[in-house]
């Protein structure tokens, strides 16, 4: 896709610049401001969720109960999961979408700016309420981020009602964000930009948005059923009243499995920009990449019960979900092979975004391979609910989602701020993160295979040494994120001026904009041919 | 990899905990045919995954090493190749099919729980297991026994820390044992790694699974589904014995049961009951109501000063005996013998400053039991 450089000096738009003071943020309808708010919010949540993981790892540093009670430990693992999924990863992706989609498709802004404002401003309230439950009588949610009934209904602390309400608000926010993305992409592409000329990030987000619209209502449904069971005498999940606790799991994972793709697809998009840029080559197999994403998205609706191999499904069910899950490996493999082929015989350099993308490909592949192992129902009887699973999903989520986000931030930061980040420090951030991450999550495979169940505040002695290594790795990984914050601050305060095209291999409409990107992206659509 | 080895080596030297541990890296082969086939399948897939990684990462690192700008390598512009793309769709498909054959066979096998020799109903409770030998009039609870002092780091942890119970599940080897899993409250999962057997225990439903143990030994596992506060403290211990020993054990258990029935006919003094009650309380009740009787507001009520513990003895007995449906307070009528119920009730009425002063004798419990 070649683009015509557009002259972006629009004097008549000067009076449309940002409003002054707090009003700029509270009432903002500007995609960049809202994107920034999403990203900052998600960074704050990353640190809150991370400090909860810190509590968990500190308690598990040695066998025995040292720091927290089991009751509080359960609240920490629950909150850690909920905050990372709904507070850190998802808002970060929406933030990136806000910043990049209009710039990539040649639009002035998102299609529905007021909805955009509302969908962001729901989040601080939702999370204040959710975190607030920790201070309520009986403590916060303590039933794991998967909140299986009846532990989360009949046996839940009273604060569960607030948790349900918070989930409803997050869901509403996600659905609005998704509608906005779909409307923007479908209607506001620059003339000449057909679907199959669209940048990969737009493709991945388009599919993600459809997934969100499909499954967030299911999540809303399942928490509403909980609410009814708790307060209004229904018995959806109570066998005593004719219900079924396993129904909860089916509904939850019907949301939950597409959800994990929601947390990875936009990263696929980011990496598909970064790797070609630093290989100075076009993305290999653009079309097959698009088809692979669509295939993954469709398959994600028919694999949910692989999270439930031990609930006692009929044989045919078990077989069906094992086979469909294995199928997902094929389009996923296509993507990985395409990225590697893009690198192959390129002219590579290794700036921080590229390091994060390569880290992404390697570690995500490891997580994908352990996923194939987990897909095998008979062996999953052993893996299920052990640290092997914890290792698996952290390998796909941390390098998958988080590394993808870091790659995106370092890649586009010069365009956003007009300033260059400190490459040396950023590389340090990458290497410390990379080592910390592997030290944290790799040994979890071992303790899991040796038989350590997940979600326990204390463990038998045979797991002691690896747990200590894991905890040390986790502290290192956590600390390395402070470097990230420092790099950001340093860039904003004293970063060198960035060029219009800071990466010589990068392509796309966003790079045709001046640096820093103007407040309104493309008041007149550029032409794409 | 080298880096990891040295780092681990360093910890090995530094950490005083080495005496405890084993640095176990992999799954065990286990002691049943199922576990052996699961292990083989696991190893097969593991090797395939390692092989795939070697190829994929090999190409990638080779490329990273050679195709870099700093070496003056010029990018070759190519961005499509139908034959390559077909190749890497077809090859993984073939690999998957190869894996799926043994996986399907193994799954078929694990679903065949017909023709069992012994049936055992396993019921999960917050936070203990109950084993009922169907057709044997034998039914007991299995509660973890790791002393609080070890958990709280006031005493050295023993070798089976967190993996020890008062009464293990005793099973004969070389017999097909069918399990029926269910739960009394939330979802639990019964898991013994050595049998490669993990099944959810779901309230209101019954799940089946089976095993046939090949070797005598003691096998330990843990609850695998988050089930509340003490999820980490509901271990499973299975003692596998020879068939002869199993027959002897069954007889012993039946005799013990008769002795227990006799004990309730004896007369017990209040002091005896208080002493026994304290023991029973700390083992069965303290997890929720706390050793000092203060409970944990608002879910677990304090018994110190509680209207129930200070009120009429019948109400108090009723709640211990039948529990309170829909709460974590399950009935102990089936778990505890008459002596134990009498003891714990007497203890609750007269400990931590509660001073009702009365007591309930085991014989009275029997009488009330009979009246029901
Ligand atoms: Cu349990």
Nearest CB to B75; choose among A280, A449, A455: A280
Nearest CB to A64; choose among B12, B157, B299: B157
Q: State the pLDDT at residue B370.
A: 62
Q: State the pLDDT at residue B363.
A: 80
What is the per-residue pLDDT across B254-308, written as a single tens digit (0 to 9) for each? 888 888 778 777 788 888 888 889 988 988 888 889 888 888 877 788 998 888 8
- Please name the residue ranges forming H helices in A106-244: 113-132, 160-187, 200-231
**B92·A333 Cβ contact <8 A:** yes
Among B354, B322, B366, B340, which residue's Cα sits nearest to residue B280? B340
Residue A12 included in any domain? no
Q: Supply the DSSP symbol for B172.
A: E
Look at residues B61, B87, B110 and tell me which one is the last residue of a structural domain: B110
Do A200 and A274 fall into the same domain?
A: no
Nearest CB to B80; choose among A285, A345, A384: A285
CB contacts < 8 A (A, B): 321
Paired tokens of B60? 């990638």
CA of A149 to the centre of ligand 1 (A): 13
Look at residues B228, B260, B292 and tell me which one is the last residue of a structural domain: B260
Rg of the Cα atoms in chain B: 28
Domain count, chain B: 3
**B103·A376 Cβ contact <8 A:** yes
Residue B274 included in any domain? yes
Sign of the C-alpha dihedral, residues A37, A42, A43, A47? positive
Do A300 and A329 fall into the same domain?
A: yes
Protein residues placing their CB within 5 Å of the ion ligand 1: B 188, 223, 227, 234
**A365·B57 Cβ contact <8 A:** yes
Provide mean pLDDT across the span A443-466.
93
Among B223, B226, B326, B324, which residue's Cα sits nearest to residue A155? B326
| Burial class of residue B10, CB neighbours in 10 A (0-12, 13-18, 19+) | exposed
Kindly report the nearest CA distance between residue A523 and chain B, in angstroms. Answer: 33
Among A205, A1, A467, A248, which residue's Cα sits nearest to residue B24? A467
Q: State the pLDDT at residue A16.
A: 62
Nearest CB to B45; choose among A66, A240, A372: A372
Do A299 and A315 fall into the same domain?
A: yes
Average pLDDT over all residues of chain B: 86
Look at residues B260, B290, B320 and tell me which one is the last residue of a structural domain: B260
CA of B238 to the centre of ligand 1 (A): 16
Cα–Cα dist A519/A32, whole Å: 7
Q: State the pLDDT at residue B26.
A: 85
Residue B37 included in any domain? yes
Catalytic residue check, A257: yes
Provide mean pLDDT across the span A216-245.
93
Provide mean pLDDT across the span A168-173.
96
Provide mean pLDDT across the span A376-394.
94
Do A90 and A103 fall into the same domain?
A: yes
Helix, strand and coil percent figures for chain B, each rounded to 5: 45, 20, 35
Cα–Cα dist A123/A129, whole Å: 10
Catalytic residue check, A307: yes
Residue A34 included in any domain? yes
Do A208 and A312 fall into the same domain?
A: no
CA of B135 to the centre of ligand 1 (A): 26
Do B199 and B271 fall into the same domain?
A: no
Among B253, B118, B254, which residue's Cα sits nearest to residue B177? B118
% chain B with pLDDT above 90:
41
CA-to-CA separations, A529 to A100, A190, A525, in angstroms, rounded: 20, 10, 13
Please tell me the least confidently modeled range out of A382-396, A442-456, A493-507.
Answer: A493-507
pLDDT tops 80 at residue B372: no
> Is residue B297 less than 8 Å (CB to CB) from chain A?
yes
Please tell me the least confidently modeled range out of A58-72, A456-470, A513-527.
Answer: A513-527
Residue A176 included in any domain? yes
CA of A395 to the centre of ligand 1 (A): 27
Residue A518 included in any domain? no
Domain holding A338, by residue range, is 264-284+293-511
Q: State the pLDDT at residue B365.
A: 80
Sign of the C-alpha dihedral, residues B262, B265, B267, B268? positive
> Is residue A238 less than 8 Å (CB to CB) from chain B?
yes
Residue B173 included in any domain? yes
Q: Supply the DSSP symbol for A190.
A: P
Do B215 and B270 fall into the same domain?
A: no
Provide mean pLDDT across the span A186-202.
93
Catalytic residue check, A145: yes
- With CA atoms as reference, the chain A residue closest to B209 would be A312
pLDDT tops 90 at residue A453: yes
Q: State the pLDDT at residue B12.
A: 44
Give the Cβ contact number of residue A212 at 10 Å: 25
Among A272, A342, A417, A521, the active-site one is A272
pLDDT tops 90 at residue A389: yes
Paired tokens of A429? 């951030």
Among A257, A273, A415, A520, the active-site one is A257
- Chain A, 466 to 505: residues with Cβ < 8 Å from chain B are 466, 468-469
Provide mean pLDDT across the span A85-111.
94
Among A217, A121, A215, A119, which residue's Cα sits nearest to residue A168? A217
- Place B154 in a pLDDT band, splitting at 50, 70 and 90: confident
Do A134 and A115 fall into the same domain?
A: yes
Do B245 and B308 fall into the same domain?
A: no
Cα–Cα dist B300/A81, whole Å: 26
Provide mean pLDDT across the span A288-296.
94
Do A145 and A276 fall into the same domain?
A: no
Residue B123, domain CATH: 2.60.40.420
Q: Supply the DSSP symbol for B19.
A: G
Among A454, A268, A447, A445, which residue's Cα sits nearest to residue A374? A445
pLDDT tops 60 at residue A458: yes
Provide mean pLDDT across the span A281-307.
94
Do A441 and A496 fall into the same domain?
A: yes
Domain count, chain A: 2
Catalytic residue check, A168: no
Domain holding B246, by residue range, is 118-260
Catalytic residue check, A306: yes
Q: What is the 3-state secondary structure (H, E, C) of B314-326?
A: HHHHHHHHHECCC
β-sheet bridge partners, residue B68: A348
Provide mean pLDDT across the span B186-212.
94
pLDDT tops 90 at residue B115: no
- Place A14 in a pLDDT band, splitting at 50, 70 and 90: very low
């Amino acid at each position: 896709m070649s683009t015509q450089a557009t002259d972006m000096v629009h004097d008549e738009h000067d009076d449309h610049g940002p409003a002054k003071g707090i009003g700029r943020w509270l009432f903002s309808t500007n995609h960049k401001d809202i994107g920034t708010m999403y990203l900052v919010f998600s960074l704050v949540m990353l640190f809150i969720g991370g400090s909860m993981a810190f509590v968990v790892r500190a308690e598990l540093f040695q066998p025995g109960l040292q720091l927290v009670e089991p009751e509080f430990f359960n609240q920490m693992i629950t909150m850690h999961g909920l905050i990372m999924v709904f507070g850190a990863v998802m808002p970060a992706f929406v933030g990136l979408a806000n910043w990049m989609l209009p710039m990539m498709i040649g639009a002035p802004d998102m299609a529905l700016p007021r909805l955009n404002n509302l969908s962001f401003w729901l989040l601080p309230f939702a999370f204040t309420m959710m975190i607030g439950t920790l201070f309520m009588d009986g403590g916060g949610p303590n039933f794991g981020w998967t909140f299986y009934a009846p532990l989360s209904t009949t046996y839940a602390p009273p604060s569960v009602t607030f948790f349900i309400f918070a989930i409803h608000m997050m869901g509403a926010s996600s659905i609005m964000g998704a509608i906005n993305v779909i409307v923007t992409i479908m209607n506001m592409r620059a003339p000449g930009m057909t679907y199959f000329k669209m940048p990969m990030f737009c493709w991945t987000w388009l599919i993600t948005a459809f997934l969100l619209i499909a499954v967030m209502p299911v999540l809303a449904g399942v928490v509403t059923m909980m609410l009814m069971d708790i307060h209004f005498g229904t018995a959806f999940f109570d066998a005593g009243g004719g219900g079924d606790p396993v129904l909860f799991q089916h509904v939850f994972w019907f949301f939950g499995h597409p959800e994990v793709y929601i947390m990875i697809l936009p990263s696929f998009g980011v990496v598909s920009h970064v790797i070609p840029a630093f290989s100075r080559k076009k993305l290999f197999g653009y079309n097959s990449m698009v088809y692979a994403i669509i295939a993954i998205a469709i398959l994600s609706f028919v694999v949910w019960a692989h999270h439930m191999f031990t609930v006692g499904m009929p044989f045919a069910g078990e077989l069906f979900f094992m086979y469909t899950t294995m199928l997902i490996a094929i389009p996923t493999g296509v993507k990985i092979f395409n990225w590697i082929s893009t690198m192959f015989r390129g002219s590579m350099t290794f700036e921080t975004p590229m390091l994060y993308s390569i880290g992404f490909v390697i570690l995500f592949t490891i997580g994908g391979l352990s996923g194939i192992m987990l897909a095998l129902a008979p062996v999953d009887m052993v893996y299920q609910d052990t640290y092997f699973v914890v290792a698996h999903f952290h390998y796909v989520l941390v390098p998958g989602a988080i590394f993808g986000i870091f790659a995106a931030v370092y890649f586009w930061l010069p365009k956003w701020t007009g300033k260059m980040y400190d490459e040396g420090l950023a590389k340090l951030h990458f290497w410390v993160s990379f080592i910390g991450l592997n030290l944290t999550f790799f040994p979890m495979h071992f303790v899991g295979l040796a038989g350590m169940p997940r979600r326990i505040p204390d463990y038998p002695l045979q797991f002691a040494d690896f747990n200590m290594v894991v905890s040390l790795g986790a502290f290192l990984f956590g600390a390395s994120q402070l470097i990230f914050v420092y790099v950001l601050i340093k860039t904003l305060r004293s970063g060198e001026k960035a060029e219009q095209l800071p990466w010589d291999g990068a392509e796309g409409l966003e790079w045709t904009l001046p640096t820093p990107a103007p407040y309104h992206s493309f008041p007149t659509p550029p032409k794409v041919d | 990899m080298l880096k990891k080895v040295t780092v681990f080596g360093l910890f090995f030297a530094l950490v005083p905990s080495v005496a405890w541990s084993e640095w176990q890296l992999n799954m065990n082969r286990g002691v049943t045919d199922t576990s052996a086939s699961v292990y083989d399948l696991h190893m097969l897939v593991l090797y395939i995954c390692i092989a795939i990684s070697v190829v994929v990462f090999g190409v990638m690192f080779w490329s990273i090493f050679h195709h870099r700008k700093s070496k003056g390598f010029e990018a070759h512009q190519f961005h499509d190749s139908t034959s390559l793309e077909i190749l890497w769709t077809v090859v993984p498909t073939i690999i998957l099919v190869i894996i799926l054959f043994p996986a399907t066979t193994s799954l078929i096998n694990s679903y065949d729980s017909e023709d069992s020799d012994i049936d055992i109903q396993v019921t999960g409770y917050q936070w203990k297991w109950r084993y009922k030998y169907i057709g044997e009039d034998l039914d007991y609870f299995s509660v973890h026994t790791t002393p609080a002092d070890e958990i709280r780091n006031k005493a050295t942890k023993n070798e089976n820390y967190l993996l020890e119970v008062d009464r293990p599940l005793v099973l004969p080897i070389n017999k097909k044992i069918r399990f029926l899993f269910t739960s009394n409250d939330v979802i639990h999962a019964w898991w013994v790694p050595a049998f490669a057997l993990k099944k959810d225990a779901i309230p209101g439903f019954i799940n089946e699974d089976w095993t046939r143990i090949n070797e005598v030994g003691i096998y330990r596992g843990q609850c695998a589904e988050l089930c509340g506060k003490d999820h980490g403290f509901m271990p499973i211990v299975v003692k596998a014995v020879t068939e002869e020993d199993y027959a002897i054990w069954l007889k012993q258990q039946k005799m013990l049961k008769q002795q227990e029935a006799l004990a309730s006919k004896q007369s017990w003094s209040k002091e005896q009951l208080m002493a026994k009650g304290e023991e029973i309380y700390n083992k069965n009740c303290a997890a929720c109501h706390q050793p000092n009787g203060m409970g944990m507001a608002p879910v677990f009520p304090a018994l110190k000063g509680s209207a129930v513990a200070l009120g009429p003895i019948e109400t108090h007995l009723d709640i211990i005996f039948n529990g309170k449906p829909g709460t974590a307070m399950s009935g102990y009528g089936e778990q505890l013998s008459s002596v134990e119920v009498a003891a714990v009730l007497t203890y609750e009425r007269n400990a931590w400053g509660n001073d009702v002063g009365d007591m309930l004798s085991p014989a009275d419990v029997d009488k009330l039991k009979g009246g029901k």
